[in-house]
Amino acid sequence: MAKVVWTGVVLALGVAACSSPPRPAPPVWSTNYAVPFDTMVNCLTSMPTNAFTIGAPTPGFGGVVTIAYVPTNVPQANSYFRVYRVPENGVQVSWFRANDVMGLDWIDGEARSRANSCGGIPYQGDRSYQGVGP
């Protein structure tokens, strides 16, 4: 009888382990900016000048805001900014993009350029495509 119970427990744990949600992917890049939180959110949600669609800011726990930033010609890209408050009136902007959509590294560069522009950092050429900070 104990073997039957033990087998049932092992099977239940195996099913639970397989059905647990995957861990969230880390950000593609993340940078701190010395601008007020509201200023950064308003700038990132302003109308883009290129072929991107901006989503309305979605507030989250602890004052974190998520802003969808998706190319109009690749709506399945599932890419977004996440803006965090940091001490001393600054923000941290992290960029997330689905890693299973290949050939979209250019989106990372466009997002970095937009965040840098909102944060008051001038364009820095190809560095934005390498995932390194400003």
6: in domain: no
What does pLDDT average to over the chain? Answer: 78
Closest CA to 42 of 120, 123, 118: 118
Q: Which of the four pLDDT bands, split at 50, 70 and 90, describes residue 53?
A: confident
The CATH code of the domain that includes 33 is 3.30.310
CA 107/CA 83 separation, integer angstroms:
18
Residue 65 included in any domain: yes
- Domain presence at residue 12: no
Task: Assess if residue 10 is contained within a domain.
Answer: no
Mind listing the pLDDT tens digit for each residue in 67-76? 999 888 876 7
Question: What's the whole-model pTM score?
Answer: 0.71
Q: Looking at the domain assignment, is residue 7 inside a domain?
A: no
In-domain check, residue 38: yes
Tokens 């601008």, residue located = 35
Within a domain: residue 118?
yes
Kindly state whether residue 11 falls inside one of the protein's structural domains. Answer: no
Residue 78 DSSP class: -
What is the pLDDT at residue 13?
Answer: 55
Range of the domain at 117: 27-130
With a cut of 70, say whether residue 114 has pLDDT above it. Answer: yes
* Number of folded domains that form the chain: 1
